[in-house]
Amino acid sequence: MDAYIKIEKLIADKYGKETTTRKAVGDFMLTDTHAVNVKSNNVAKQNYSPNMISIQKMHKWVFEERNDLSFIFIDYREKGDNLQILSESDPIPIEHISWDCLSIEAQGYGVIQKVGHLKLIKDQTKSDFYKGFLVAYEKYRQKERKKHERFTKRFIKDPDSIDW
């Protein structure tokens, strides 16, 4: 069993909950309307920008359906079959995470990635987080537009000038 699956189960058990399916918003549910994602980091590896959640799932769950989403961050080390948890955060509501350490990157319609050391803003509201999301999403859209324009220039030419 992969370490992250073991860790998700350990943390869900700690809260007296069952883990969910891979397609669910969270790794376990604190309540019917509060999903929790467990983000584990093997300190022995280079984990550059871990994916947190797709923007579609996040937007639907948090902003359309008005539910809660929290993250628990785990640092661990593996020694053979032994799994050693080095640090574990309490559940952190998504709206308390600063956009200074988040980015939206290309995968599907976009995925939120943690791109720096975790930075929290304890009094940030969902509304404030959403405003930051809109700024980050616009940056993502512009970056994607430029990427597609560069790619398009590689293969779209004047059809009359192509020697078939």
Which pLDDT score is estimated for 48? Answer: 66
Which pLDDT score is estimated for 24? Answer: 86
**Domains recognised in the chain with CATH numbers:** 3-154 (3.40.600.10)
Which pLDDT score is estimated for 3? Answer: 87
Tens-digit pLDDT profile for the chain (164 aa)? 688 889 999 999 999 999 988 778 999 999 999 999 999 999 988 776 788 999 999 999 999 999 999 999 999 999 888 899 999 999 999 999 999 999 999 878 899 999 989 999 999 999 999 999 999 999 999 999 988 888 777 776 655 665 55
90 HSE (CA, 13 A, CB side): 4
Which pLDDT score is estimated for 21? Answer: 80
Contacts of 132 (CB under 8 A, 6+ apart): 98, 99
Which pLDDT score is estimated for 39? Answer: 94
Task: Return the DSSP state at 94.
Answer: G
d(Cα 112, Cα 132) in Å, to the nearest integer? 12
- How many CB atoms lie under 10 A from the CB of residue 110? 20
3-state secondary structure of 16: coil
